[in-house]
């Protein structure tokens, strides 16, 4: 599994919100840009299994005054934009603080009759925007964005991650995580309403199966 501190591929808060604005650009495809476009076309099959959109990554506002200590602990994945590294059920993430001040990320899922785990490291990149974390699951891979858009720490969190290619196309990831494996519908709907207000397209969101898990 991957970025939410949640899974091998690390999410709610008081809410003073502004709407996300994504800048659009006109590109002249000449010279080096043609090479970039060619490389982009080669990359498209890799992102086809993800949720991709045209244009650069947006910059939605994140959780103000993010409190990492309150955020630590176990979170259950309730809904997400499709991600190729998350094909199982019973997906959850557990965050704990390391001695060096970084965050241990332990993601797990039940897939093909066995439990698989992915351990990574998350870091706060800029203390002035502590809700913008980065997470990596390998010494050889760069940190991927793990942005906590909103959380109340005790019920839900919304996590967003995005990577763009030459500002022409991007891969979007989004997760709704909760402290309970079976949260109230109102909690999930509240999270969705917040995501919609930030311009995140929910049409591709998929529910994660949390039934039949070992700790039920």
User: What's 76's domain CATH number?
Assistant: 2.40.128.20
| 70 lies in some domain | yes
173, β-bridge pairs: 161
Return mean pLDDT, the chain: 83
**Higher pLDDT residue, 6 or 75?**
75
Residue 25 reports pLDDT greater than 70: no
| Residue for token pair 């010279």 | 31
| Residue for token pair 């006109």 | 26
CA-to-CA distance for 96 and 89, rounded, in angstroms? Answer: 22
Q: Give the number of domains in the chain.
A: 1
Residue 189 reports pLDDT greater than 60: yes
The confidence band for 103, taking pLDDT boundaries of 50, 70 and 90, is very high
Q: Are 1 and 111 in contact (CB under 8 A)?
A: no
| 30 lies in some domain | no
| 10 lies in some domain | no
| 25 lies in some domain | no
- Strand, helix or coil at 100? coil
Report the pLDDT averaged over residues 176-186.
98
| Residue for token pair 């060096």 | 100
Range of the domain at 68: 53-207
CA-to-CA distance for 155 and 136, rounded, in angstroms? Answer: 25
Residue 114 reports pLDDT greater than 90: yes
Tokens of 120: 């990574």
Q: Report the residue count for the chain.
A: 216
| 39 lies in some domain | no
Separation of CA 38 from chain center: 28
CA-to-CA distance for 25 and 48, rounded, in angstroms? Answer: 23
Instruction: Provide the H-helix boundaries in the chain.
Output: 32-47, 68-71, 185-197
Tokens of 57: 């990554």
What pLDDT, on the 0 to 100 scale, is given for residue 33? 53
CA-to-CA distance for 121 and 95, rounded, in angstroms? Answer: 9
Q: Are 188 and 97 in contact (CB under 8 A)?
A: no
What are the C-alpha distances in Å from 163 to residues 27, 50, 59, 173, 199?
19, 11, 11, 9, 17
């Amino acid at each position: 599994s991957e970025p939410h501190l949640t899974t091998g591929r690390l999410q709610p808060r008081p809410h003073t919100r502004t709407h996300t604005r994504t800048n659009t650009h006109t590109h002249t495809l000449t010279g080096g840009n043609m090479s970039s476009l060619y490389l982009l076309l080669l990359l498209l099959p890799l992102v086809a299994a993800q949720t991709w959109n045209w244009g650069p990554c947006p910059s939605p506002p994140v959780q103000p005054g993010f409190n990492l200590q309150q955020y630590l602990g176990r979170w259950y994945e309730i809904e997400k934009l499709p991600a190729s590294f998350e094909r199982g059920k019973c997906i959850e993430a557990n965050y704990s603080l390391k001695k060096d001040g970084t965050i241990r990320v332990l993601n797990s899922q039940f897939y093909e009759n066995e439990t698989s785990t992915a351990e990574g490291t998350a870091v706060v990149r800029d203390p002035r925007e502590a809700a913008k974390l980065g997470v990596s699951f390998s010494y050889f891979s760069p940190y991927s964005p793990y942005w906590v858009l909103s959380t109340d720490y005790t019920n839900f969190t919304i996590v967003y991650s995005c990577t763009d290619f030459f500002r022409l196309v991007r891969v979007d990831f989004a997760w709704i995580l909760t402290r309970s494996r079976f949260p109230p519908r109102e909690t999930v709907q509240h999270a969705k309403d917040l995501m919609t207000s930030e311009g995140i397209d929910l049409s591709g969101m998929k529910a994660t199966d949390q039934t039949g898990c070992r700790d039920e």
